[in-house]
A and B are shown apart, each in its own frame.
Chain A
Amino acid sequence: MPNGRMEFMGDIYSIWLREMIRYVRARSRVVTSLITPLLWLIIFGTGFSNSLSFGAGGTTNYINFLAPGILGMTVLFTSMFSGMSVMFDKEFGFLKEILVAPVSRTSIVVGKALGGTTQAAIQGILILGLSYFIGVRISGTLGLAAALVLILVTMFFIGMGFVGLGISIATRLENIEGFQVIMNLLVLPIFFLSGAFFPVTSLPNWMKALVDINPLAYGVDALRYAVTGLHTYALMTDLAVVIGFFVLMTVVGSILFRNVR
């Protein structure tokens, strides 16, 4: 039914558009959320650069090692926040306006996810651009164009996945207080155990196991491969995991969203 599909795409676009208008309007938040990762990158990157280097013969300095981790962090935080903004819609009543409209629940979830991912990608690209000025260079074995494509593709799938996770959690939370708890008890560990800061190959087994089940670890690994050429997992494994994560979270998010009130 092509008409139905047209409507489905239209609904996704409508939901996406609202997310983007809100994003553009929240300029101060956008700027703040750029400053934090850049500060991490400057302070940690510079602080450790002289004492740490990676890769064969220590060719990759720490700031280049850290940059893809910071990209991953930006995508993680932006997309989780965006997914969990469903909570604010619930709190402020706007969710009812969407739920009572003649649109499919799946198009709402996909539209939200695309909105959050677009924001995450914009943030990521801005950070990547700005990090050039503090010495970060794309210097992997891939050519520049291929590296950029890989970065965008990876950001897209982990972005979609984490918005989906955020939406799923938001549908289960009763009130806005849960938001902080989730941020501290789930999002921070996901970030710290993603290999964003340190190589995960020499970790103790229990910690390595946690990293291995963390979808962000594979995203960071793919980003790091694009930026520096270093990697822990095979690129195909990275892509398979982030795509699998995206599909899983979109399905779970859509199912949970069906019962939201």
Chain B
Amino acid sequence: MKAIVTKDLVKKFEDVEAVKGINLEIEEGELFGLLGPNGAGKTTTISMLCTILKPTSGLASVFGHDVKKEPSTVRGMIGIVFQEPSLDDNLTGKENLDFHGRLYKVPRNEIAERISDVLELVELADKADVIVKKYSGGMKRRLEIARGLLHHPKVLFLDEPTLGLDPQTRLHIWEYIEKLNREKKITMILTTHYMDEADQLCDRIAIVDHGKIVAMDTPDNLKRDVGGDVVIMTVPNGSEQLKTTLEQLEFVKSTQLVDGTLRLSVDKSETAIPVFLDVARQEGIAVPSISLHEPTLEDIFIKYTGREIRAQEAAGGFAGHGPGRR
């Protein structure tokens, strides 16, 4: 049986259609990623899957249980780490977990052991009796992950699990996520707008943009899809002519010009760079930097949307008022 199935899932808010028909089939045990920029509709999709929001239309089910018709059954099977903080700051770490255990009917004779297990896992055992108010951002995040696991959910949702954390804590959390998926066989659905996170962790990725899935496959297949290597040139404004000229070259498969950065996916990467520089010189265009790299998920995102994820990040997200992490 599939862990998650959605069929033409749609969510409309008063003024925006946040999710515009998403179809997913996620296998049991899979670590599945929803990758997309701010405002793409990732949180909205997850909120419908975990019964916080009601779908406007379409179907969504968790292990065959419809989220609209059997919300309590679904709630009993899932765990979720929300994008925004959701701990009680006035309770200790242990009390937060104990409360969670009660709500999820974890047998009382097992609760102490489970709490110490999950705290061990996220290395917070020594902070169990400290009030959460005194935790750092990374500690809170780890506690939330521990809490999501306490009741042994069949599916764990992780909404931007490493948003706003320092690199070291991010690596740590990645390790936990991989370990849990591997050892406990928990199906995981993770959302992120970090390319490297999706690439590193996920078995399969759906790239989401404007409420739609624009591509879905394993990271390797997605990258293969771009093909060859990618050359990135920094170019001055008004370099459209250069783009057009280079496009004609036989070994250039596709080109994208975004904000002064020209990306070309190429077959013969060794010879490509000298040729590109020659062409640029002939057109009188100075190229301050040029580099060659293997395709990343960023290239795939650009291929399907014509935009960079990062550029939208810097501009504060093109959706404008997407909820941020406080």
Q: Are the C-beta atoms of A96 and B53 separated by less than 8 Å? A: no
Q: Are the C-beta atoms of B91 and A100 separated by less than 8 Å? A: no
Q: Kindly report which residue of chain A lies nearest to residue B89, judged by CB atoms.
A: A92
Is A7's beta carbon under 8 Å from chain B?
yes
Q: Are the C-beta atoms of B75 and A102 separated by less than 8 Å? A: yes
Classify the interface of chain A: helix, strand, loop or mixed: helix
Q: Are the C-beta atoms of A94 and B87 separated by less than 8 Å? A: yes
Chain A residues in 8 Å Cβ range of B103? 11, 14, 98, 101-103
Residue from the list B95, B104, B147 in contact with A21, Cβ < 8 A: B95
Chain A residues in 8 Å Cβ range of B73? 102
Q: Which residues of A1-23 are within 8 A (CB) of B? A: 7, 10-11, 13-14, 17-18, 21-22
Known: A18-B88, A21-B91, A26-B90. A96 touches B105 (CB 8 A): no
Give the Cβ gap from A73 to chain B, nearest Cβ, in Å. Answer: 26
Residue from the list A26, A92, A97 in contact with B100, Cβ < 8 A: A97
Known: A10-B105, A14-B103, A92-B85. A100 touches B90 (CB 8 A): no
Is B256's beta carbon under 8 Å from chain A?
no
Known: A102-B75, A102-B76, A103-B103. A97 touches B91 (CB 8 A): no
Interchain CA distance A248-B158 in the complex, whole Å: 39
Q: Are the C-beta atoms of B90 and A25 separated by less than 8 Å? A: yes
Q: Are the C-beta atoms of B72 and A102 separated by less than 8 Å? A: yes
Q: Which residues of B35-65 are within 8 A (CB) of A? A: 50-53
Is B12's beta carbon under 8 Å from chain A?
no
Is A99's beta carbon under 8 Å from chain B?
yes
Interchain CA distance A22-B88 in the complex, whole Å: 9
Q: Are the C-beta atoms of A102 and B104 separated by less than 8 Å? A: yes
Interchain CA distance A96-B105 in the complex, whole Å: 18
Interchain CA distance A126-B280 in the complex, whole Å: 85
Is B304's beta carbon under 8 Å from chain A?
no
Interchain CA distance A98-B80 in the complex, whole Å: 12
Interchain CA distance A99-B52 in the complex, whole Å: 7
Residue from the list B52, B75, B90, B131 in contact with A261, Cβ < 8 A: B52
Chain A residues in 8 Å Cβ range of B85? 92-93
Interchain CA distance A261-B102 in the complex, whole Å: 22
Known: A22-B91, A99-B52. A14 touches B80 (CB 8 A): no
Interchain CA distance A102-B147 in the complex, whole Å: 15
Give the Cβ gap from B273 to chain A, nearest Cβ, in Å. Answer: 50
Interchain CA distance A25-B73 in the complex, whole Å: 34
Q: Are the C-beta atoms of A96 and B75 separated by less than 8 Å? A: no
Q: A80-110 toward B: CB 8 Å interface, digit per residue (1/0)?
A: 0000000000001110111111111000000
Q: Kindly report which residue of chain A lies nearest to residue B75, judged by CB atoms.
A: A102
Chain B residues in 8 Å Cβ range of A99? 52
Which of B's residues lie within 8 Å of A, judged by CB?
50-53, 72-73, 75-76, 78, 80, 82, 84-91, 95, 99-100, 102-105, 131, 147
Additional 4 contacts, C-beta under 8 A, given A17-B99, A92-B85, A102-B72? A10-B102, A18-B91, A101-B100, A102-B105
Pick the 8 closest A-B CB pairs, nearest first: A14-B102, A101-B103, A93-B86, A102-B75, A102-B76, A97-B86, A96-B86, A93-B85
A-B contact pairs, 20 of them (CB 8 A): A10-B105, A17-B99, A17-B102, A21-B95, A22-B88, A22-B91, A26-B90, A92-B85, A94-B86, A96-B82, A96-B84, A97-B82, A97-B100, A100-B51, A100-B78, A101-B100, A102-B76, A102-B104, A261-B52, A261-B53
